[in-house]
Amino acid sequence: MLHVDLDAFFAAVEQRDKPSLRGKPVVVGGIGLRGVVSTASYEARRYGVRSAMSTAEARSRCPHAAYLSPRFEVYRRTSRAVMAEMRALSPLVEPLSVDEAFIDLTASGLTGLTVDEVEAIANDLKDAIRKVSGGLTASVGAGTSKLIAKIASDLDKPDGVVVVPAGTEAEFLAPMEVTVIPGVGPATAQRLSMSGVRTVADLQQLDEDELIRQVGSAHGTSLHRLAIAADDRPVVSDRETKSVSVEDTFETDIIDRTLLTAISDRMAHRVAERLQRAQLSGRTVTVKTRMHDFTTHTRSSTLAGPTDDPRVVARVARRLLEESDIGGGIRLLGVGVSSLADWIQDDLFTEDEHADNPIELVELPARPRDLVGFHPGQDVVHPDYGPGWVWGSGRGRVTVRFETADTPPGPVRTFSIDDPALTKVQHVGADADDEPETGQNVENG
DNA sequence: TCTGGGGTCCTAGGACCC
DNA sequence: TCTGGGGTCCTAGGACCC
């Protein structure tokens, strides 16, 4: 099996499309006060910038980096092209996310390979990925199981290939820290350390019953096996979606229930839209709230039958929100639907008994134009200068660098935010929810 | 100036049923 | 004059992943 991991994916795509950023520190993520880093380029990592770090901390570590909002549509498009290359290698490909996948080579008859042969296959794949993606690099791990392939792909980043020979798996793992095992996070590592377990070798020695007492039945059983590299999990190409959700952290905590209701309604509609697009429907609606102290609560309600009707999702979400304690204001609100079915049931159960009495949608205040678009990194076009991207905006002005992936960097120009000549580029296949927005923006309206 | 958004899987208690 | 037992569904929360 191969595990393929695109290197610093979001940042690499930005450097590909914005030549002036090549070789420079780039940070992609939330750019607001409460934003976090999604991906830092390797140049930015040298300053200690890491994924999941608050953007504020990243800015203090690396003030001269370019801070960009993610362009998810572009990443998805690139991802699809890369995944297609993998499927050309083997029909059995399991994407784990937009930038990662497992490939089962045996599904295309590639068995009994030598280490050199596997290495050659991995390098060919890397070449194909580089060509189809406009120069992106990947790191590849190979082994006899998902566990080994996944861990191996991490050992020689970026742009590396690591093949673990069959039969050497347990000794390969033994000296490593337990946290290399996917599923062992801070909480599990902490518990294990109380039994003196730090490395996989320690874990291999630990009694299974003792392990289960420490971390629970399911986790203990699977960890006990993974520690000795006993992993027979298959590569599954079509995993079914189990839930669909939308959530938003506000720039400042929101206490106004009328505003929260309006936001909840809109989130319910976005969730329902996504369900419909995926031809799914669900029975359980969940509302999530996060308090100022970061404690998180969920309330859920299960319907008699599945729905993808925005009005039904909105009404249930409203009720759950009403039942939620919002204390002195909440920093996050989310709406989700689970217990999914891949069909829509007949009106028998889905019938909306409130259909004659539709809920009245609360209108959100309009946002000022300079908050509706023009995020750093955003693609724009100008009739005189051609295509470019937003470097920054504020105080009614927006600064644009004119360049594309295959043009030399052009001029940097500043425009009024109201300049009608400057237009945003809408990417094909973009979701309505690719547009970043926050409660703060809403409140500013 | 702490701490995103999209997910998956597991646990535990209570209701309910046979 | 406490005490069945097993299975399923629902709800809430938590750990973890990218």
The answer to whether residue A366 scores a pLDDT higher than 70 is: no
Give residue-wise pLDDT tens across range A103-154.
999 999 999 999 999 999 999 999 999 999 999 999 999 999 999 999 999 9
Q: A308 labelled as ligand-binding?
A: no
Work out if A243's Cβ lies within 7 angstroms of strand B. Answer: yes
Alpha-carbon span A282 to A293, nearest angstrom: 31
Provide the pLDDT confidence category of residue A431 given band limits of 50, 70 and 90. Answer: low
DSSP sequence for A69-123: ---HHHHHHHHHHHHHHHHHH-S-EEEEETTEEEE-GGGGT--S--HHHHHHHHH
- Dist. CA A142–CA A132, nearest whole Å: 22
**Cβ A177 to strand C below 7 Å:** no
**Separation in Å: C15 C1' and A197 CA:** 19
Q: Which residue is nearest to nucleotide B8 (CA to C1')?
A: A242
Average pLDDT rounded to a whole number, residues A394-412 = 94
Is A243-350 CATH 3.30.70.100? no
Query: Is the CB of residue A100 inside 7 Å of nucleic acid strand C?
Result: yes
Asked whether strand B has any atom less than 7 Å from the CB of A57, the reply is yes
Nucleotides of C under 7 A from a protein CB: 9-18
- Which helix or strand (DSSP H or E) is residue A379 part of? strand A379-382
- Domain map (residue ranges) of chain A: 1-163, 171-227, 243-350, 369-440
Q: In this structure, what token pair is assigned to residue A322?
A: 């009403």
Please say if the pLDDT value at position A436 is more than 60.
no
The answer, yes or no, to whether residue A442 has pLDDT greater than 50, is no
> Residue A221 CB closer than 7 angstroms to strand B?
no
Asked whether residue A201, judged by its CB, lies under 7 Å from any atom of the DNA or RNA strand C, the reply is no
**Of the given ranges (A256-260, A289-293, A340-344, A394-398), which has the lowest mean pLDDT?**
A340-344
Q: Which nucleotide is nearest to A6 (CA to C1')?
A: C18
pLDDT of A30 higher than 50: yes
Closest CA-bearing residue to C1' of B6? A245
The nucleotide whose C1' lies nearest the CA of A267 is B5
Q: Which nucleotide is nearest to A243 (CA to C1')?
A: B7
CB of A189 within 7 Å of some strand C atom: yes
Q: Which CATH number fits domain A171-227: 3.40.605.10, 1.10.150.20, 1.10.600.10, 1.10.3720.10?
A: 1.10.150.20
Q: Taking 60 as the threshold, does the pLDDT of residue A31 lie above it? A: yes
List, in order, residues 6 or more apart from A267 with CB less than 8 Å away: A246, A247, A248, A317, A333, A334, A335
- Split at pLDDT 50, 70, 90, the class of A353 is low
Query: Which position among A57, A100, A119, A322 bears the catalytic label?
Result: A100
Is residue A100 flagged as an active site residue? yes
Residue A364: predicted pLDDT: 74
Which of chain A's residues 364-423 bind strand C, using a 7 Å CB cutoff? none
In tens, the pLDDT along A278-291 reads 999 999 999 999 99
Q: Is the CB of A289 under 7 A from strand B?
A: no
Residues 6+ apart with CB under 8 A from A375: A31, A69, A390, A393, A436
Nucleotide nearest to A33 (CA to C1'): B1
**pLDDT for residue A324:** 97
Instruction: Annotate A412-442 with b (16+ C-beta within 10 A) or e (fewer).
Output: ebebebeeeebeeeeeeebeebbebebbbbb
d(CA A215, CA A187): 9
* Angle between helices A115-133 and A72-89 in degrees, nearest 10: 140
Of A42-46, A358-362, A375-379, the range with the lowest mean pLDDT is: A358-362
Which nucleotide minimizes the distance between its C1' and the CA of A433? B5
pTM score, whole prediction: 0.94
**pLDDT reported for residue A357:** 59
Q: Which CA-bearing residue is nearest the C1' of B12? A: A216
Q: Give the tokens for residue A97.
A: 């996310």
**CA to C1' distance (Å), from A230 to B16:** 40
Confirm or deny that A248 is annotated as ligand binding. Answer: no
Q: Which two tokens stand for residue A226?
A: 């993974």
Range A1-163: architecture per CATH: 2-Layer Sandwich (3.30)
Q: Using one digit for the tens of pLDDT, what is the confidence trace for A206-228?
A: 999 999 999 999 999 999 999 99
